[in-house]
Amino acid sequence: MGNYIGIPILLLAAVIDATIMPELRLGNGTADLVFLMVMSWALLADVRDALLWAVVGGAAQDLLSVAPLGTSALGLVIVAYAADAIFGNVSRGNLLVPLVVVAVGTAVYHMITLTLLQVLGLSAVGLGQGLVYVTLPATILNTILILPVYRLMGAVHRLIVPHRTRIG
């Protein structure tokens, strides 16, 4: 059920990323709502669910941008998998791990997507410039926004993921 509810949530987040978030800038960087939701889900849910969210969210972002289809999805899958492999499932009450995951994850995600765009000849910005002028401000914004997004995704997770009852 979590996968099905994730589709409209991620589609809405991708539309917000494409329309509203560019207006909320810090320098040349913007917060990435899809990234924040996927990272939150990677820490809260099963890795398979998180990877599905990464593919759906990344594809939705790419369909609404000039990036080739799969660029964002690839970056999100790598970062979501790494977050799950390193931290596993994290309590909804833990606020430190999401901050660390998003700060490091934003940089890694941006490096992956900027590198792919450069390899494909679609980026007019060098990797170093992109990291300084886009990634650094985006990291700050994502780090500020992760806590409310993580709490919101924790509430969604609690509503849609069945809880196990202990016997004995």
CATH topology of domain 2-160: Arp2/3 complex 21 kDa subunit ARPC3 (1.10.1760)
CA-to-CA distance for 39 and 27, rounded, in angstroms? 23
- The predicted-structure confidence for 98-148, as pLDDT tens digits, reads as follows 999 999 999 999 999 999 988 888 877 777 888 888 999 999 999 999 999
Domain residue extents for the chain: 2-160
| Top-confidence residue, 150 or 90 | 150
CB 142 within 8 A of CB 35: yes
Q: How is residue 152 written in tokens?
A: 């919101």
CA-to-CA distance for 23 and 38, rounded, in angstroms? 22
| Top-confidence residue, 63 or 161 | 63
pTM of the shown model: 0.91
Q: Is 66 exposed, middle or buried (0-12, 13-18, 19+ CB in 10 A)?
A: exposed
User: Is the confidence at residue 3, as pLDDT, over 70?
Assistant: no
